[in-house]
Amino acid sequence: MPRLSGMKALILGAAGGIGAATAQIFALEGARLALLDLSAGLDTVANEVAAAGDLASFATCDVTDAGSMAAAISDAADALKGLDVVFNCTGGSSPADGAVDVVDDSEFWRTISVDLFGTWLTCKYAVSHLRKSACASIINTTSSAALRGTRGANAYAAAKGGVASFTRALAIEYAPNRIRVNAIAPGATMTARIAKRMAESAELREKIRVRQPLGLVEPEEIAYLAVYLGSRESRSVTGQVISVDGGITA
């Protein structure tokens, strides 16, 4: 039997990278899906998911806007006729990030708005629907940068560190409601954005080679962990930040 059979799942950041890979694998594992992203590229992923499994809805939304998120999550829950799993997979680092004494404050607030506040809003508006589920799971996305010292991405480390701490707080907050809350901490992952940056930077290629001994993570590797965290297999797992990072935190 598929591992997510009968589960109603909402995936944010589904237009590409880890989010798209997770949407496709969730579909194959039997989940009924609603997909959200700001990118128009969501149409392509939605068509692929519909061909592979059960797609209830897809829509664009802005994770930094409370009104947009409230409406999008309500519509998704209506289309799904409930909500069991939420996978927050929005955000990411930017070349504009850097050391705290040189990076522009606008980049800090951009990163906080997308990575941390976006996660906050998703959880805020999903909880009322998840309370009705017999097997509810929130899966946030943090980063290896939240778990170790880093250089050159201080805003990103701050935002993703906040996601990790927020995840633990929610796990305790909503344990009485049987809502499990965990986070995945990827290392450098072979998304289209990272592939482009690596192609342009020999320095980045060498940094990853030295720091991540098993090499780049594939998006599907993150997706399979999300399947576990969304399924009944992990019904006693909550408050965890789990690394899939090619050994970078080691």
From 125, 156, 224, 228, active-site residue:
156
The 3-state secondary structure of the chain, one letter per residue: CCCCCCCEEEEECCCCHHHHHHHHHHHHCCCEEEEEECCCCHHHHHHHHHHHCEEEEEEECCCCCHHHHHHHHHHHHHHHCCCCEEEECCCCCCCCCCCCCCCCHHHHHHHHHHHHHHHHHHHHHHHHHHCCCCCEEEEEECCHHHCCCCCCCHHHHHHHHHHHHHHHHHHHHCHHHCEEEEEEEECCECCHHHHHHHHHCHHHHHHHHHHCCCCCECHHHHHHHHHHHHCHHHCCCCCCEEEECCCCCC
228 catalytic per annotation: no
Q: Give the other-Cβ count within 10 Å of 183's Cβ.
A: 28
What are the distances in angstroms from CA 181 to CA 88, 149, 194, 230? 11, 25, 27, 10
Q: Which residues are catalytic?
A: 156
